[in-house]
Structure 1
Amino acid sequence: MTPTEAVLVTGASTGIGQAIVEHLADNNIRVFAAVRDLSSVAEHPLVTPVRLDVTSATEAQAAAETVRGALGDTRLRGVVNNAGIAVGGPLEFLDLDEFRHQLEVNVIGQLAVTQAFLPLLRRHGGARIVFTSSIGGRIAAPFIGPYAASKHALNGMAESLRRELKPWGMGVSVLAPATVATPIWEKAGGQIDDLEASLPPEAIELYGATISSMRGMTSNATDAGIPASQVADAAHHALFSRRPKAEYLIGREAKLMAAASTLLPYRTFDKAVLKEIAKG
């Protein structure tokens, strides 16, 4: 059966983005998989790779024109803003250019893509915009301050956008998982090594023990995380359900963390977070 609706997914080459693309295609939905490297997208009759670096507003506009020309009679149902990066390290020694890049990809780039595709989404009522956020958009753990800041900002932007677009019947949702079992964790150990190598001796003296504990946490993340398919299920609901949620807390870990951060006094919760990190 020929699909009648399409979705654009950014950051579609691996992890959560890839899982969302596969889930949608398996449900007879046409997918435009937005990636920086077109060869990173597996061939599928319902999946069309689209070149897009979200940090370039020019490329976002060009991607929208590509999709416009390829849609034909298919309706663009929604956009899943999934592309993102994670910058970590102690804020005291953070390179400010790295912080700017974190915000450029995870916040400004998301808005650039949304702006580029809104004219297409407005063609039909009930269009949806989905942002892949994180429990980090509620709870800012130590040593991922840049990432947490970007997700807090993304949540705030999504909340404003949801209310701005409501008069036109458009929905805006954020996906908020905690740990997801994706290939990103296979690279995390090397990234922590690179971080340690870049820090001055004073930073290692102050934070070295905690950074080492984080290495242990990342090595266990693949086994502890939920499958990316759970996030894809939530994305599907946000895109196609009659009453999408504003926020999807995905997985037991995310729900427990959100509840604990709300119910516990902040001093108690802070101690629990630091204790967990110390365990490694």
Structure 2
Amino acid sequence: MTSNICDNDSFALTYGRARLASSGGQKRYTAPRDPSGEIPNVLHRPGLNPLLCLLLIPLIGVIWLRKEKIEVGFCGTGTPQWLREESTVSRWARTAVGPRCAICPQHATCYPNMVVRCDDDFALASHPFSLGGLIPVTPLCEAVSGRPLQVRRVVQQTVEALQDRSGQLECRNILPIREDPSFVGFSEAEVKFEIAQQNPNLAEGDFDTLWNEALWDAVAQGEIVRSGQGSSSTLTLLPTFTKYLHVACATRKLLYRSFTEYAGNILAFMMCACCYYHNHRLASKVINKLQKTDIALRQLSQRLNSTPRTG
């Protein structure tokens, strides 16, 4: 017992030191050993989790891009340090790696770090894809009162009218309106007359002024394309709007064609389903009546058996 304690004490005193041993005229260091024969684990360095590294690298990149996007800001308002002319970063790296500047929204004044101040009668509205400001996306300035609100209503009415006309023309023809070479657009005079019918409270002069402002606003925002001048001018929607019309029209055509081709089968299936449902209801009613009759007969039999017989 005493010898074991002494051995442990001596190992504890010499633990962590290097012993100098000579072998063949050369000196080498050897680590001390435990008297019990086990080699202690002196150094233990846990490695990094590779999955954690895979998650951290994209996260760091996204944070860096968000920071640079905010510093770049709107065109003409801000530029990060590494994108300036006196920077040592090459020109191709500036244009390939870094984010691009954003266009300042209409009816707003833009400042560095993507700060936006809307004009009077306009309110700042965050973009749906900004996720509450987490993603630096250009906000919008929406009309809330006064003349701008009337202009915005006329713009929406014009876009809806063009969408209805485009949908009717496209679903009637085989080719989409953008692929039809004979299609040049809808007459501005006809669209203007249709919008005027929707605003009967406005005088003719007031509506003309409002129409010109709304048309200019819609063209500036890229919602409508205006071709020609004067009475021969035409209005069309952008391809970004007409592609949804293509999908809707193709879906309507597919449903109509499927119904006309399989109308007999669909009607037969519906009739069979109705008959099955009717028979199922009748069978359920009969089963319920039989169950009630069976319960009543059992109760009557129990009462007869429980009554004592006299005589």
With the length of structure 2 as denominator, give the TM-score of the two structures: 0.21
With the length of structure 1 as denominator, give the TM-score of the two structures: 0.23
Please identify which structure carries the higher strand content: 1
Larger Rg: 2
Say which structure, 1 or 2, has more relative contact order (CA 8 Å, 6+ apart). Answer: 1
